[in-house]
Structure 1
Amino acid sequence: MITHIVFFKLKDRSPEAVKATAQVLTNMEGKIPVLKYIEVGLDVLHLERSYDIALITKFESLEDLQAYDVHPLHLGVKEHMKQVLDGTSVCVDFQS
């Protein structure tokens, strides 16, 4: 199993904007066959160093993660994220 974790810091950190982007991410659930698990978490501390959203996804293999990366729905999500991100996201991918 491959776990893929991404942290996002948004330009607009208002609760409404964060929830709207979290919904864009959550919308992938059940729509990408290789995506075996998805969890979207919203930051509760709201510190300057905090990221606003954490995305945790799981895949059976690295090949499945690569297929997810180019899936049309995920490509649309990436386009949305380019518009709302304050800089770049950070991620970690590991075997679990």
Structure 2
Amino acid sequence: MYTHIVFFKLNQPTNDNIEFVKKTLLSMKGNISELRHLEVGVDDIRSERSYDIALITKFDNKEDYLSYDVNEYHVEKVKKVIKPYIEISKTVDYFM
């Protein structure tokens, strides 16, 4: 499986904004055929070094991940929608 993890730090991490971004990320389930696993977690500690939200996605292979990355739903209904809420994001991608 190919795993793609993203950590998001919101520019205004209110409960409403965190919930909106989480719901938007979860909306990918069932809308992107290459997506095999989708998990969204909200940080519970909220320390200075914490990010607000973690996204974990899994794919059969790297090629499926690359298709997901340019998928119209992912780009138009997720990335563009949450972009105004995001201060910074970091990713890790790996094959196991």
TM interval, shorter chain, is over 0.9
Report the Cα offset of residue 30 of structure 1: 1.2
CA contact (8 A) 2:3 2:58 kept: yes
Dislocated runs of 4+, deviation >3 Å: none
Report the Cα offset of residue 73 of structure 1: 0.8
Look up the match of 1:91.
Answer: 91
Look up the match of 1:65.
Answer: 65
Q: Which deviations, in whole Å up to 9, do the C-alpha atoms of 1:59-88 show, x marking residues without a partner?
A: 0011100100011110021112321111x3
Letter aligned with residue 79 of structure 1: K
Root mean square deviation, CA, Å: 0.8
Letter aligned with residue 35 of structure 2: L
Runs (5+) with no aligned partner, structure 2: none
Letter aligned with residue 53 of structure 2: I
Look up the match of 2:4.
Answer: 4
Task: Number of aligned residue pairs: give it.
Answer: 95
1:80 equivalent in alignment to 2:81:
yes
Report the Cα offset of residue 48 of structure 1: 1.7
SS state at 1:89 partner: strand
CA contact (8 A) 2:39 2:55 kept: yes
CA distance in 2, matches of 1:2, 1:18: 26
Higher strand share: 2
CA distance in 2, matches of 1:45, 1:75: 30
The percent identity for this pair of structures is: 44
Runs (5+) with no aligned partner, structure 1: none
CA distance in 1, matches of 2:82, 2:66: 18
Aligned 1:4-83 pairs, distance under 5 A: 4-76=4-76, 77-83=78-84
